Structure 1
Amino acid sequence: MQGVLKKGAKVAGTIAVLKNPLTWILTGILFLLFSIFGVALFLSISLGGENQFESGMSGEGAGGTAQVSAEVLRYEPLIQKYAEEYGIGKYVGLIMALIQQESGGRQLDVMQSSESIGLPPGAITDPDYSIKIGVKYFSEVMKQAKGDIRLALQAYNFGNSFIQYALERGGYSEEIASQFSQAMSEKLGWSSYGDVNYVEHVLRYYHTENDSIVVVGDGTQRFDVEEVHNIMKEFLGLPYVWGGRTPASGGFDCSGLLEYTFAQVGIDLYGTAESQYNKTVPVPEDQIKPGDLVFFSTYKLGPSHVGMYVGDGKFINSNGSNGTSYSSFKEWKKLYPFLGFRRIP
């Protein structure tokens, strides 16, 4: 993990709890076999190893699926316990992916959390204590990062000083991570500082249903639909923030997400949901296509919520329940007055 002067490298979803007695028995047998043949079975996975798990296991839960080795999976009950204690119970899957990157479950300091409490690397020799300290620290950086998963993960590796550094520069990005690493290396006289690709390295072990959503335009929109969608996807999981217009706000409101994203491709959607409604033109529902905007009336009469349609009955938006996320068009129509689809002229 990391103290502020972390030199090494460190990366949310729930793993399903094994409640069936038969499953526990089978799992016990697997653990026994793994203890005997573990080296051979898991040779392809070194610390932070390959994204292939011939002998590993995966579990599904709220938000995503973590694909981890049996050595990591055995710590699921402890991770669940401390994640719930520190208020991040829905991030069990991500924490397991983090552990896969940190130690593969093969070191006593499971979460490499010694440095976060001022101890030398690997000083913690009790897995329970390592997980407790690591989960507690991750909950702290999640709070400081205002729910931005990628920012929190990189801060687990770099130390929490990275959070303010990134927020002052528009939020997390690989470029910002590289700049911070270089600055810290020069300051400390080190050849390198942390793992600038830490987020990518951890998330290869963690997958959500959103990973499979691919948007391709038909070339008739005024903008590149895929490009705009990919920009918005970078903010998935970021909290809803009333009046949030940039990543530095810690999150977006609905119109802020569209305003910021479209500005990156040179399109002016400045303003509220109502302003964006007035800047667009109506599209019959039987003619909608990815890239069209969808409007609802929520807390007041008239256009007060907006998102971008991505196809398959879904739209991407920032809302008070899930932050930046995908929503079902049909489900929203059941809850709020629907004001129609509109297109950027």
Structure 2
Amino acid sequence: MRPIWTIPVDLQSDELLSSWLVRVALENGCDPLALTAALWPSRRAWSSDIDRYLPEFCQQVLVAKGGIDSNVIRGAMLVDVARCICDNVLPMHGRWPWILAVRARNRRRLGGLQFCPDCLAADQRPFFRRRWRFAWCAVCLRHGRLLLDHCPHCHAAIEPHRLTAELKSVAQCATCTALLTDAGQGAPAEPFAAQLQASTELALAGNGIEYANAHLSITEWFAILDTWLGLARRAALAKEQGLMRLVAMLGFPPLPWTETRTWESFDAAERAALLTVVGKLISLDASQLVASFLDAGLSRQAAFPRGVPPIPVMRDIAGALPDRLRHRRCSTRMRCDKKLPEPRSRREVARRMERLRRAVARVQAGAH
């Protein structure tokens, strides 16, 4: 069936559904908002993340009016990959593990979409890749550079759905209209982060991965990544002596302060630093990991505070570490002595200022 729009626009390999809809609108001389209003008059399509969730009846309308197969639509969304990663039911609203959060407020976004300026510049018709929505993707493997998640000119979030008909390419900033491809050389890709990203993409393409002389499912692979990511985030807090020694021994890069945010809301540079740590840990075999943990003085509880994943290699590592389980004594006495609050540490002040900055950004986004 022919689409309702005049100029046909092909969905590219690995293109996001939202990217394709924006390109269809711009190629046919209308705003993305006008296109989605014609497709789904009763829905405010851009106030939600349509790459994560699009109701079945909306998909059927797109099949009928857009001349596109339903399997192609689903392949341009994120839900199939998210279900491979997580065994749990995915919420309609809320965090999806390892899928970047757009943090939508009406039609405004605070992040969640990355891009490589060199990829957009090389495209005959620029488009946004599906892999740029994945939290393990922080670098461009093709061009060896760090991905960007903001306009290099005005530092606004990437919001192609807010482009207007006068702008003919998705490679423009919706806020300042400058070209996203004019971003300069950029920061180079971290080798360990790039290797981890490549391994994860191979795991998804091959329905599993070989690690520690065993074949792991995609869910098991991400369980290991989650474990080492948690260790890296706790190391960034610099509160545990054992983790601080491990940082010094293995030469971790400077790590971002991450206590109050979810992994899926980090920017590309923050994720690249943490993925470098995870990549270094993944590159070591079990015996090397155990030796490093023992030299740093880590116990089983320090390395696996949330429990050991039910994976043989992780159980072997945990079993080789000392068990220092502490049993808290219960007391019926309650402390009632009230003291004046002590001065906050520099890190605590920085943490609270960062939380305030994000709250102000949300309010400002909602005011537009």
Q: Which category describes the TM-score, using the shorter chain as reference length? A: under 0.3
TM-score of the superposed pair, with normalisation by structure 2: 0.26
Larger Rg: 2
Greater strand content? 1
TM-score computed with the length of structure 1 as normaliser: 0.27
